[in-house]
Amino acid sequence: MIDLRALRYFVAAFEERSVTAAARRCAISQPSITAALQGLEASLGVRLFARTRQGLAPTRDAEILHGRAVGLLAEAAAIEREFRGRAPRTLSIHVQPDISLRRAAPILRAAYETSPGIVIRLVADPNQADLVVGADGCVEDGMDFLPLWTEPYVVLVPADHPLRFKAEVGPRDLEGQPMIERTQCRLQARFEAHLSTLGVKPDIRATTTDEDAVVTLVELGVGLAIAPASHADGAPGVVVRLLASDVAASRTIGLAWRVDSSHARFAKALAHAITTSAPPLTARRGAVPIRAVRSISPRRRGQ
């Protein structure tokens, strides 16, 4: 049986004439596109593309398949829309304050693709939300939680600070260093307690609950900050350095919903859409990995 996802990747490759462009269009890795094309060629027993320096050159069989694939994918989309007719017209989503909306973009994209007519309302109060995008340790017990990606906590260093030359920054490197305190972060308190145990006293220059302010203060050279790696996205004045510490310093971000919610069925369909695609979760700051979690089944918090 032909995989619809493989057909989608084939259509993208056919129309873009490039594995790289197809991967970008589908928001997946290039090897995934290549594997899908090879799988189609093997199952159909035909050659679909000739690989050239200019990109992909479709064969006659590819031209025939493209016409049928487009129609089949359109029919599949129509079936999904028909049977998801009960999907909510308005969906309230709470994004945890220390998660950038850019990082949550794959979730929002999947919501619009799952229910094209939906209206998304971003709310500040998680208790008013149908769905919550949050860290595992911050989501209420009793909610279904689907882990999506894991990212480390790192040290955000001003671009002209001497610590930018170190590959890793350990607790003792922070002795007397100017620091910005993220007061709403649970890990911040644990890390400060760890520093106190070691007799390390950083120089707190600013405190804030505003995550955007943290990055701005680092860029201004006010001090260092301990924060999730994704905070440095799009911040050219910030250098990311790994945190060498005995304190477990990572977090798992996922999608959560209340078990008794009227949106539970839609949430599960959305979760499936997210986990069967591959959102671009690689950190753009170099050597700090942000790893996708490929878990199809949600787990219940508190169990």
Confidence of residue 303 (pLDDT cuts 50, 70, 90): low
pLDDT at 285 over 70: no
Domain ranges of the chain: 4-83, 90-147+257-278, 150-243
Confidence of residue 250 (pLDDT cuts 50, 70, 90): confident
**What is the structure's pLDDT at 202?**
93
pLDDT at 273 over 80: no
Confidence of residue 54 (pLDDT cuts 50, 70, 90): confident
Which of the two residues, 187 and 86, has the higher pLDDT score? 187
SS3 sequence of 160-174: CCHHHHCCEECHHHH
Between CA 206 and CA 98 the distance in angstroms is: 17
Global model pTM greater than 0.75: no
**CA geometry: angle at 273 spanning 268 and 276, to 5°?**
120
Measuring CA to CA, which residue among 93, 84, 24, 15 is closest to residue 56? 15
Give the rounded percent of residues in the chain with a pLDDT score beyond 70: 86
Q: Please state, in angstroms and as integers, the Cα–Cα distance from residue 217 to each residue in 24, 130, 150, 182, 210, following that order.
A: 33, 33, 25, 11, 11
Does 4-83 carry CATH code 1.10.10.10?
Answer: yes
pLDDT at 133 over 80: yes
* Segment 78-119, tens digit of pLDDT: 777 666 555 557 889 999 988 888 888 888 888 888 777 788
**What is the structure's pLDDT at 84?**
59
**What is the structure's pLDDT at 299?**
58
**What is the structure's pLDDT at 147?**
86
Residue 135 is classified by DSSP as E
Between CA 218 and CA 216 the distance in angstroms is: 5
Instruction: Assign domain 150-243 to its CATH architecture.
Output: 3-Layer(aba) Sandwich (3.40)
Q: Do domains 90-147+257-278 and 150-243 have the same CATH topology?
A: yes
The domain 90-147+257-278: what is its CATH number?
3.40.190.10
